[in-house]
Amino acid sequence: MEGGPADAAANRKSSALTGSARKLKDNAADWHNLMLRWDKLNEEGFNVAANIVNTRRSQRDLWTPDESPPSDELQAECSKLQDVVHKMVAVVTKMEHLMELQRGVQELEEFQFGPEGRTVPLFHSWTTKDFEENCGVLMVDFRQELRLKLVILEELAHAVNSDLSMVYLSCWLHQPFIRTQTRLRLEALLLETGHRPV
């Protein structure tokens, strides 16, 4: 026997979730998985962006922009970065879908329980409206960060000096729009839904 009676009770309780609670818990898991995917893509994109900067730096000594087109190596790295950004767009699109589902749950709760929605929390303390607000903040942050990634994609290979290239790399790596508060919101979401122990 792998787990004790407490484990069995916890499994029964988790599997017994239905309706709004099940949907919110599934959405929380999806947010977590999408953020993990984003982080992996961010790391991959940073490595490719660093390769672009290094390639540009080595080529800058050999030619002037007016004389020669970009090398095949630079083109290949730019294509890789474009692929990474397209995958990031797909992640944000999935996050937008989660927000639509979240709004749907909120609207259903308002329909069932009136304009204030459910007054009794589904899990520990959050109302359905709290879930929607927190997920909305996550969505805004990731949309802004994606816009920054798109700018970096367009400008990185054309940076006029190495200082500007370093700024782009730093922005890619440190993700200024995905603040510490953003990650804390996700952790709060996971704690609230029982994905993390309290």
Q: How confident is the model at residue 63 (pLDDT cuts 50, 70, 90)?
A: low
Which pLDDT belongs to residue 40?
Answer: 99
Which pLDDT belongs to residue 160?
Answer: 86
| DSSP class per residue in 89-105 | HHHHHHHHHHHHHHHHH
Which pLDDT belongs to residue 91?
Answer: 99
Which pLDDT belongs to residue 120?
Answer: 84
Q: Can you tell me the distance from the alpha carbon of 119 to that of 102, in angstroms, rounded to the nearest whole number?
A: 17
196: its two tokens: 């993390």
Which pLDDT belongs to residue 118?
Answer: 82
Q: Which amino acid would we find at residue 168?
A: Y
